[in-house]
Chains A and B, each alone.
Chain A
Amino acid sequence: MTHLRKTLVVVGHGMVGHRLVQAAVERGLTETYDVVVVGEEPRPAYDRVALTSFFSVESADELSLLPEGRYDDPRVRLVLGTSVTGLDRETRKVVLSDGEVIGYDALVLATGAAPFVPPIEGRDQDGCFVYRTIEDLEAIREASATATRGVVIGGGLLGLEAANALVQLGLETHVVEMAPRLMPVQLDQAAGSTLVRHIEKLGVTVHTGAATTGILGDGRVTGLETADGTIEAEIVVFSAGIRPRDQLARDCGLDVAERGGVLVDEQCRTSDEHVFAVGECAAPGGTMYGLVAPGYAMAEVVVDVLLAGPGTFTGADMSTKLKLLGVDVASFGDAFAATEGSLELVFADAVAGIYKKLVVSEDGTRLLGGILVGDASAYGILRPMVATGTNPGIALPANPEDLILPASRGAGTTAGVVGMPDEAVVCSCNNVCKGDVLAAAADDATTRAGSTCGSCKPMVKALIEDFYAAQGRVVDKGLCEHFSLTRQELFDLVAVHGYRRFDDIVEAHGKGRGCDVCKPAIASILASQFNGHVLDHETTALQDTNDAFLANIQRNGTYSVVPRIPGGEITPEKLIVIGEVARDFGLYTKITGGQRIDLFGARMEELPAIWQRLVDAGFESGHAYGKALRTVKSCVGSTWCRYGVQDSVGLAIALELRYRGLRSPHKLKGGVSGCARECAEARGKDFGVIATEKGWNLYVGGNGGATPAHARLLAGDLDTETLLRYLDRFLMYYIRTADRLQRTAPWIDSLEGGLDRVREVVVEDSLGLGAELEDAMARHVGSYFDEWKATLEDPEKIARFVSFVNAPGVPDPNITFSTERGQIKPETSAEPVVLGPTIPVGAP
């Protein structure tokens, strides 16, 4: 019986150490090994990559990778707040700082790296920090309470993260980088300059090509000295790179790499066969990798090797895509065109702050790498195409520049798809590739592309349109079989002829009696131009069920009720009314993402009584059912927030009330943030406003939905009056020219000139349309009324809200509920339910 259990000791419980233990548990290594993992920090491993978000989470626990504080597997022992002080390779034992001695059969060094603090005079004073652990952040936060200015030394990835942290702490922030550009490892000069412009817009001052010569102060930091002058600051954060923590390995005579790091082979084994090293303390083949992904790969390799598997680590993909201070940055493959004969394709738009570069092979057929700043949306398509040493990648299309040109130049993401190779997967839900779609189009057959989540529909549409266009067949851009006109053409026709009725429009310009596509589109056009009641006689039959019953239909045919809560601000009295209504009608309640309260499970015939209570309490329709303005989200702003620089709540309420009831091609959302921290997520909205010291920055074209887009800056530092003027123009321009169900982001991309075009029309008024668009909005604002109040006052409109025309008091037996977490939940009925032979007239 030699089946004694072995012991694996892991030194270090950071992200990589944790991953290794996790893999050991998941892959069954703990069947034969007891695992002891020793961590120096007081808490289990946490997400160091997301360190900066520490300031916005409730507690450090939210970053934890092991919130329970222990592994599920009892054969794993986690020792925290303890370091390994000695390693005896002869006897295979480690000594811990608390004196414990543990024997091992295999040992893994996962000690990570430490921040490098350059030997600058004055670096030991109070107010100097590094940026690595939660304790570091806590110390910086404490110091920021009495500071107003901070400097980060180092403009790499981590330095910019640290700068973000200082901005979040409300400090006037500087970044000092010795290299001539930011992120010198990942970005070229032009990309770095583009990034600087973005970051300076957020109030961070960037000093590149600036070497720090000394830290000023008399025991406490007062500033920083560079060759060009001094920068006053009470906080200095060093982020000038990291150094592998390889001291333990050095002390016991293991081989280390020339530039630091424990030298390991492809199996992550050190010069001692019982000792492995992974992550930032390791140097496979002499190279240290300062990213978490290669560390994870190494952790998996070691577990594989201990399981007698073939695992090897042969280098890592150093591609990075991230959002730095809200700016998209991606760098992948041979970003610096180091490959001999390689060519660079560059697209730069200084106004919009976009820089995109592709590095392609000499013959133009292979993608070698690239850089994206300001708009990294193409990363998903580009990344798999990259050719590396062993992987030939995917062949580039004939016009590779289409992959980075914006849609407004006749290309963009969908054109990128058109140019993609046949093997490229278009619909990942159903694994349909481009070739399948084209083959189906050729046979007039169909694929399952777009049938699951639908997010690839625009790509599939572009592919099919391109396919037919190539055959010389005209692609009908009309709305449906009843109208060969686009929404914009119909909008103009209605405006010119003054049509008020669907019948007149379809008789003059269409055929048949319409359908579920053209009817709601025309209802929306009529509502945008004349703002009548959606249940008026002329338009009532055109409305989708949501508009028809002024509520959102849910899965069992009941409706949800959403009263307007402008800007998310509500009095206790009104909150109580909502609660009382929900309780009295037995409704499910949920706080929505748009800062309102949804009441679910209302039967259609209950809607008038529910709304009567709400209207009496001063609520009005929230238009949650309409292709209309939904909400304008806000943070608490300068009134309550210590960082706020403007009254975001006040502005959000003003905007929501101004644009409430505005019918549009798609639903619209807005947001207002009181400072650059962006707690209202305004850049994820169709229009977003972010407060600056000088006024408001206006962003447009952000969306959630299937293809999320970040809003882009339209104009900066506006006073409130100018902001309203621009917003009026922007929204009306969109309503007039967008396609049916086209959100603002694809609408902007569809315009010739894209965002620049919008800026010309809205800000520069180059078409002279400004006053007309403002007038149109003024008419909307002046003609607003609450649809629910008006409905309750009109017996004819209310008459439709009955369960059965011949038994108005009988509830539909098909609607039933169960309960979950103490609230109702809809049940579906597979078969129609039959009431008993006698109709219980009048019974509830």
Chain B
Amino acid sequence: MSTPRGGTEEWQPVCRIVELEVERGATALVHGQAVAIFRTHDDTVYALGNHDPFAKASVLARGIVGTRGDVPFVASPMHKHAFDLRTGRCLDDQHVSVPAYDVRVVEGVVLVGHRKPDAA
């Protein structure tokens, strides 16, 4: 899979953090790609590719956010596969992962950066 990088801008602003509900996802369009943005209970923001590789549908942002041990994760709404919000790694199948993106929050604005190096 090619790394979607698109435009030249390093960080793309997508929304204000207050627009994100706690422990709920939202979808943003970043470099032509659907990206799922999550805000956890401690106000950390994560970004993953929105495409569920098991169900082959663009839905991850609509999953339930929680923890497994210390790992923050989202459960896909399709078949409940869990993905690590930090790395995009699937917690139920170590051979599968979704892209994870760098995120910064600057003055209340959520910025999505490059895709993180593959964790798997």
Whether the Cβ atoms of B32 and A555 lie closer than 8 Å is: no
Across the interface, A513 reaches (CB within 8 A) one of B31, B40, B56, namely: B40
CB distance from B100 to the nearest CB of A (A): 13
Determine whether B105 belongs to the interface, using a CB cutoff of 8 Å to chain A: no
Stretch at the interface among A18-26, A233-241, A577-585, A831-839: A831-839
Determine whether B26 belongs to the interface, using a CB cutoff of 8 Å to chain A: yes
Whether the Cβ atoms of A515 and B23 lie closer than 8 Å is: no
Across the interface, A837 reaches (CB within 8 A) one of B32, B34, B67, namely: B32
Residues of B within 8 A of A382 (CB): none
In the complex, A633→B59 CA distance in Å? 33
Across the interface, A512 reaches (CB within 8 A) one of B66, B77, B82, namely: B66
Whether the Cβ atoms of A814 and B57 lie closer than 8 Å is: yes
Residue in chain B with minimal CB distance to A513: B67
Question: Count of A-B contacts with CB under 8 A?
Answer: 131
A802-830 CB contact bits vs B (8 Å, 1 = yes)?
01111100101111000000000000111
CB distance from B78 to the nearest CB of A (A): 7
Residues of A within 8 A of B59 (CB): 545, 553, 557
Residues of B within 8 A of A737 (CB): none
Across the interface, A516 reaches (CB within 8 A) one of B32, B55, B56, B64, namely: B64
Across the interface, B28 reaches (CB within 8 A) one of A545, A604, A805, A829, namely: A805
In the complex, A800→B61 CA distance in Å? 11
With A556-B57, A806-B28 already in contact, the answer to whether A514 and B21 are too (CB < 8 A) is no
In the complex, A451→B49 CA distance in Å? 27
Residues of A within 8 A of B56 (CB): 828-830
Whether the Cβ atoms of A832 and B50 lie closer than 8 Å is: yes
A contact patch SS: loop
Whether the Cβ atoms of B66 and A555 lie closer than 8 Å is: no
Determine whether B63 belongs to the interface, using a CB cutoff of 8 Å to chain A: yes
Whether the Cβ atoms of B67 and A832 lie closer than 8 Å is: no
CB distance from A35 to the nearest CB of B (A): 50
CB distance from A803 to the nearest CB of B (A): 7
Whether the Cβ atoms of B29 and A828 lie closer than 8 Å is: no
Determine whether A544 belongs to the interface, using a CB cutoff of 8 Å to chain B: yes
Residues of B within 8 A of A548 (CB): 24, 62
Determine whether A549 belongs to the interface, using a CB cutoff of 8 Å to chain B: yes
B12-31 CB contact bits vs A (8 Å, 1 = yes)?
01110001111110111111
Across the interface, B57 reaches (CB within 8 A) one of A516, A555, A807, A837, namely: A555
Whether the Cβ atoms of B32 and A835 lie closer than 8 Å is: yes
With A557-B59, A804-B27 already in contact, the answer to whether A544 and B49 are too (CB < 8 A) is no
Whether the Cβ atoms of A810 and B29 lie closer than 8 Å is: yes
Across the interface, A541 reaches (CB within 8 A) one of B21, B31, B50, B67, namely: B21
Across the interface, B55 reaches (CB within 8 A) one of A555, A834, A835, namely: A555
Residues of A within 8 A of B64 (CB): 515-516, 519-520, 541-544
Tell me which residues from 416 to 449 in chain A have a Cβ below 8 Å from any Cβ of chain B: none
Determine whether A484 belongs to the interface, using a CB cutoff of 8 Å to chain B: no
Residues of A within 8 A of B63 (CB): 516, 545
Residues of A within 8 A of B67 (CB): 482, 512-515
Residue in chain A with minimal CB distance to B60: A557
In the complex, A548→B117 CA distance in Å? 32
A370-387 CB contact bits vs B (8 Å, 1 = yes)?
000000000000000000
Determine whether B89 belongs to the interface, using a CB cutoff of 8 Å to chain A: no
In the complex, A515→B19 CA distance in Å? 22
Determine whether B45 belongs to the interface, using a CB cutoff of 8 Å to chain A: no
B contact patch SS: strand
Residue in chain B with minimal CB distance to A834: B32
With A804-B28, A828-B56, A832-B58 already in contact, the answer to whether A515 and B66 are too (CB < 8 A) is yes
Whether the Cβ atoms of A831 and B57 lie closer than 8 Å is: no
Determine whether A540 belongs to the interface, using a CB cutoff of 8 Å to chain B: yes
Residues of B within 8 A of A515 (CB): 64, 66-68, 73, 75
Residues of B within 8 A of A837 (CB): 6-7, 32
With A512-B66, A514-B67, A837-B6 already in contact, the answer to whether A804 and B34 are too (CB < 8 A) is yes
Whether the Cβ atoms of A839 and B68 lie closer than 8 Å is: no
Whether the Cβ atoms of B27 and A812 lie closer than 8 Å is: yes
In the complex, A555→B82 CA distance in Å? 18
Whether the Cβ atoms of B34 and A832 lie closer than 8 Å is: yes
Residue in chain A with minimal CB distance to B24: A541
Whether the Cβ atoms of A557 and B29 lie closer than 8 Å is: no
Determine whether A481 belongs to the interface, using a CB cutoff of 8 Å to chain B: yes
Residues of A within 8 A of B73 (CB): 515
In the complex, A815→B57 CA distance in Å? 8
Whether the Cβ atoms of B29 and A807 lie closer than 8 Å is: yes
Tell me which residues from 58 to 111 in chain B have a Cβ below 8 Å from any Cβ of chain A: 58-59, 62-69, 72-73, 75, 77-78, 80, 82
Whether the Cβ atoms of A557 and B80 lie closer than 8 Å is: no
Residue in chain B with minimal CB distance to A558: B57
CB distance from B116 to the nearest CB of A (A): 16
Whether the Cβ atoms of A814 and B32 lie closer than 8 Å is: no
Across the interface, A557 reaches (CB within 8 A) one of B1, B40, B41, B57, namely: B57
Whether the Cβ atoms of B62 and A549 lie closer than 8 Å is: yes
In the complex, A800→B15 CA distance in Å? 13
CB distance from B24 to the nearest CB of A (A): 5
Residues of A within 8 A of B14 (CB): 805-806
In the complex, A829→B20 CA distance in Å? 27
Indicate the member of A514, A515, A832 with the most B CB atoms within 10 Å: A832
CB distance from A389 to the nearest CB of B (A): 49
Whether the Cβ atoms of B33 and A832 lie closer than 8 Å is: yes
In the complex, A537→B97 CA distance in Å? 31
Whether the Cβ atoms of B66 and A834 lie closer than 8 Å is: no
Whether the Cβ atoms of A806 and B15 lie closer than 8 Å is: yes
CB distance from A177 to the nearest CB of B (A): 54
Whether the Cβ atoms of B27 and A803 lie closer than 8 Å is: yes
CB distance from B29 to the nearest CB of A (A): 4
Tell me which residues from 526 to 546 in chain A have a Cβ below 8 Å from any Cβ of chain B: 540-545
Indicate the member of A541, A556, A830, A839 with the most B CB atoms within 10 Å: A541
| Besides A805-B19, A807-B28, A834-B6, 16 new A-B residue pairs in contact (Cβ under 8 A), listed by A number | A482-B66, A557-B58, A557-B59, A804-B34, A805-B15, A805-B27, A805-B28, A806-B30, A812-B50, A813-B34, A814-B50, A814-B57, A829-B56, A829-B58, A830-B56, A833-B34
Pairs A–B under 8 Å by Cβ, sample size 5? A541-B24, A804-B29, A805-B15, A831-B51, A839-B29
Please list the 10 inter-chain residue pairs (A to B) with the smallest Cβ-Cβ separation, ordered nearest first: A545-B77, A814-B58, A516-B75, A515-B66, A832-B51, A835-B32, A828-B56, A557-B57, A804-B29, A516-B64
